[in-house]
Chains A and B, each alone.
Chain A
Amino acid sequence: MNWASSLRLVAAEEFLSVSGLVLLLVCAWAGDKSARLVTWLAVAALAVAGVLVAPALCGGVFGAEASAFYGQYAADSFSSFAKLLIYGAAGASLLVAPGFFERQGGYRAEYPVLALFAALGMGLMVSATDMLTLYVGLEMNSLAAYVLAAMSRSDDRSPEAGLKYFVLGSLASGILLFGISLTYGFAGSTSFDAIHTALVGKMSTGSLFGLVFILVGLSFKISAVPFHMWTPDVYEGAPTPVTTFFATAPKVAALALTMRVTLFAFGMQAQAWQQIVVAISLLSIVVGALGAIGQGNIKRLMAYSSINNVGFMLIGLAAATPGGAASMLVYLSIYVVMSIGGFVAILSLRDAEGNSVEKIADLAGLSRSKPGLAFVLAMVMFSLAGIPPLFGFWGKFVVFQSAVAAGLVPLATVGIAASVIGAFYYLKVVKVLYFDEPADKVVGSVDGVHAVLLYGSAIVISPIGYLFTGWLGGLAQSAAAALFHAA
């Protein structure tokens, strides 16, 4: 191993940690007055980190030339695809934070710094090619996330959400760590490469237990059923910009991590984890769709929607083929844009006193008072339901296509049938927006950066998005190929 080349490969992480430290000093000296400035600088740092990782994706690098620090870290095309999504999502959710927290009374300058460190941890997660890197990255992201969830002082639900997330998250980390230690015991190494070569043929009971525990820990992080209980509470309780963050960046990181662990580290044991992934995915689709029906709070609805969507993405993983992995990445990218659009729209819903409106009933007749906002929100709902011609349809389409190509026809059939149940509650929101008697609760206006993000994501999920399918599919394929180079 060459230290110089290793240090060059982790350039984005180095840059993010140094800028995080510098910004921490800025907020220590300048206090909360500097919060807005620190936010913009953090977004700039994320943009620079994005530029640093982009060449690896365009060049499609993988294998030995992307491997750093004795194979503990990989700066390959897969990780840079995920990192670009993560940095973009983290940047977008940082941009909407100052306005929200200033209305709530008190924007803390540490908020962007913690988000920056969370993004650093997520970068480690998606680049992890060693169980230890995986765990360190996961903890870095989780610790920052617990604090972000509990950050709002004016709302009692926020500390509650933070505490719930912390207790359940620590339990999941413990289970994951137990699985890692079992796998280490039976494979003799923590490196993904070595696990890949060691675990061939029939799996011993011990290593199977290790695999199951690892999958349980990771399912918690991607909030897949049956480890999803925390999601609605945390999404509802956390301040909305934090929810925007949770629904996008960590989801990308955890799913990408799950992909690398299953497809690469346990790549020779596909038949062992495939049935687990199929079960988790079907449960997530059904429970996500049924659970959302009774929800009266739009943030809780989005939480169930994210559970539902994770289920669809896992169908791509269940295929266990490069095509399945690429389709997951395509779905993930579209999902991130849809979530950002949806949450920015939710952030723009404010009553006369400037408080957030979160009850779905209060949105009645929004189309008459705020036609633009209602239109984008309806578009996000249609897109999440996967109704053509919106871009959300394309994500579901490629996932089902890859499942059918891999011979998982029953899974795809059940998934398509269950997506109809999901369409019900999305359409219910649209019905409230357009056909109910106006409640005239929402008066706030969409301004500045919110408008840019809102209409920007609306353009991407509109049929215009189909212009990107070739380009996005090509990038996703080159990224997915990096996972299968050893196979």
Chain B
Amino acid sequence: MIQTLAFYLFAALVIASAVMTITARNPVHSVLWLILAFFNAAGLMILIGAEFIAMLLVIVYVGAVAVLFLFVVMMLDIDFATLRAGFVKNFPLGLAIAGILLAELLFGLGAHSAGGLVLGTPDAATAPAANVPNIQAIGAVLYGHYLFLFEAAGVVLLVAMIGAIVLTHRQRNDVRPQNISEQVKRRPEDATINTRPEVGGGVKL
């Protein structure tokens, strides 16, 4: 009973916040509604026992993607009024695309109920162990069975990082960066001198 209630609560909130995302006038509000939609989708995932995907939604989508959107929306000077201007004109096209998506959904459901595809049987090596939370199961596969590839993927990321730095970083001679250790090393006696200039003689620097 409580599960059914929770499902309808989360599902209704996902749909409501999705509608608000596209109708909100202020783009910042849109992103905030989107975050609410992500949170509720995570709730739905927990209901079906996929807690890893739920955590992923919160960490990756809310923590990184939505914040990135927020930055982009706030930093770029986009005139959303002009972006929305063609709404009525493009409405039939949008409707057509929605119709195609609906047709595909129905087609997929039809194919599924007609027997579906004959897929291969998953091999036992990476099959989830019974009665284990799925975070633990994924961990066992990722850090056990696929440890070698996990490490190799780390090297791929390292290569990407080196590449990004090599292509964009260059030594520039026209800027004067701060050198903290030089600044800390500097003593008053290096920088100031006491002189006793003669009257009318001026100071030699």
| Chain A residues within 8 Å of B117, by CB | 185-186, 204, 206
Cα distance, A475 to B119, chains bound together (Å): 40
Give the Cβ gap from B129 to chain A, nearest Cβ, in Å: 16
In the complex, are the beta carbons of A188 and B121 less than 8 A apart?
A: yes
Q: Which residues of B contact A188 (CB under 8 A)?
A: 119-123
CB within 8 A of B159: which of A108, A117, A194, A198? Answer: A117
- Whole-angstrom distance between the Cβ of B17 and the nearest chain A Cβ: 31
A52 CB, nearest partner CB in chain B, Å: 17
Measured between alpha carbons, how far is A78 from B162 in the docked complex, in Å? 31
User: With A and B bound together, what is the CA distance between A194 and B158 in angstroms?
Assistant: 31
Select the stretch in B26-34, B86-94, B140-148 that faces chain A.
B140-148
Count chain A residues whose beta carbon lies closer than 8 angstroms to a beta carbon of B.
Answer: 43
Separation of A10 and B54 alpha carbons in the complex (Å)? 36
Measured between C-beta atoms, what is the minimum distance from A296 to chain B in Å?
30
Given A72-B149, A136-B156, A188-B123, also A146-B163 (CB < 8 A): yes
Closest residue of chain A to B166 (Cβ to Cβ) is A110
Known: A147-B163, A147-B167, A150-B167. A132 touches B156 (CB 8 A): no
B155 at the binding interface (Cβ < 8 Å): yes
Residues of B near A402 (CB, < 8 A) are none
A26 on the B face (CB < 8 A): no
Residue contact A10 to B148, C-beta cutoff 8 Å:
yes
Tell me whether B160 and A136 are in contact (CB under 8 A): no
- Does A110 lie within 8 Å of B119, measured CB to CB? no
Complex: A204 Cα to B165 Cα, angstroms:
46
Verify A110–B149 contact, CB threshold 8 A.
Answer: no
Contact A144 B159 (CB under 8 A): yes
Most chain B beta carbons < 10 A, residue from A70, A133, A143, A191: A143
Residues of B within 8 A of A151 (CB): 166-167
Measured between alpha carbons, how far is A114 from B162 in the docked complex, in Å?
A: 8
- A69 interface hit (Cβ, 8 Å): yes
**A143 and B156: CB pair below 8 A?**
yes
Enumerate chain A residues within 8 angstroms of B152, measured Cβ to Cβ.
124, 133, 136-137, 140
Contacts A133-B149, A136-B153 supplied; 10 other A-B pairs, CB < 8 Å: A70-B125, A72-B149, A73-B148, A108-B166, A114-B162, A117-B162, A144-B159, A147-B162, A151-B166, A185-B119
Q: Which residues of A contact B155 (CB under 8 A)?
A: 17, 117, 120-121, 140
Q: Chain B residues with Cβ under 8 A from A140's Cβ?
A: 152, 155-156, 159
A189 in contact with B160 (CB, 8 Å) = no
Q: Which A residue sits closest to B148, measured CB to CB?
A: A69
Residues of A within 8 A of B149 (CB): 69, 72, 130, 132-133, 136
Per the bound structure, the CA–CA distance linking A10 and B160 in Å amounts to 23
User: Contact flags (1/0) for B105-121 with A, using CB distance below 8 Å?
Assistant: 00000000000011111
- Does B166 lie within 8 Å of A143, measured CB to CB? no
Contacts of B158 in A (CB 8 A): 117
Complex CA–CA separation, A144 to B161 (angstroms): 10
The 3 closest A-B pairs by CB, nearest first: A188-B120, A147-B163, A189-B123
